[in-house]
Amino acid sequence: MFLYEKLASDLYDYNPQIYKPDDFDSFWTQTKELAKEKLEFTMEAVSYPLKARIFKVTLKGYDDTPLSGWYLLPENDQKTYPLCLFFHGYRGYASSPSSFASYLLNGIGVLAFDLRGQVGASGDSGYEGGHVPGWVTQGLDNPYQCYYRRLIVDALRMVDLARSLPDVDPKRIMLQGGSQGGGLTLATAALSEHIALAVAAVPNMCLMEQGVLYSTSSLKEVIEYLRLYPDKAPAFFKTLSYFDNVNLAPAIKCPVLVSVGMQDTVCLPKGIFAAYNRILAPKEILVFPFSGHDGGGENYTRAAMEFALKHLKP
């Protein structure tokens, strides 16, 4: 056996113990109720050079923040469609309708939003205190006010929106995303009972304390803040534990596909395996020994679509 073949061999049993707050379950019960409080959105058909039905959507998220997105449907005569709710990566946006053409060609509708406050058109405001550049440290000393809670309330409302659409089969809603979007995919699948399957490429939000200490990307923002205010570390790490997929993963009920790049310094392989190993639902993991944060690239893209088509049959 070559060395590269051993990179993941020990991680299939990796099960680190992490902090889990005593009020973890009650926190999520309250948060899910908050997400259900309202479902308000507008939708407008727009012209776009793609053989599909294209709609611009605005959804009211947490604290009535308007979230901007796309709703895309294949141009055929099906009565209802499976739908992919897509979450983009950190510092990203929902891109353009043409980015989702492969879903439409395979008869799958798409709902994709600019996540709050990031590069797209969705807003975000109203935090107490300061933060370093980025979004991770906003409100991080209070789990009820932090950015991650707002993000997940938004995601749960997106699921409710998908289920309300007359062209969507509510029993065939999948979640997909990479990096930040992969972490949000796993968390939303854990918190919603209405998901048919989840596809998470190199997911973030896994073993987050380790990510803060060793990742080279978004969670480094926490280190930047704690360098100035080290006394906030206990509160910050406690807040992160509510949103860590290692704690959330056992609640996932739908089939899950995860990918991991063994050279990834952004979403660390140990963290991804720590969350994956706690998933009790049917699951598969694609291990790419020579990939970094690309998570397998085209090889992953093909496998993810095959996985989706297998599980989204009527």
* Residues tagged active-site: 179, 264, 293
Q: What are phi and psi of 104, to 5 degrees?
A: -65, -40
Tell me the Ramachandran region of residue 222: left when phi exceeds 0, alpha when psi lies from -120 to 50, beta otherwise. alpha
Distances (CA, A) of 281 to 147, 234, 260: 28, 32, 18
Tally Cβ neighbours within 10 Å of residue 14.
Answer: 16
- Treating both helix axes as pointing N-terminal to C-terminal, what angle do 24-35 and 233-242 enclose, rounded to 10 degrees? 60
Q: 263-287 in b/e burial notation, b at 16+ Cβ within 10 A? A: ebebbbbbbbbbbbbbbebebebbb
Distance CA(82)–CA(193), nearest Å, equals 16
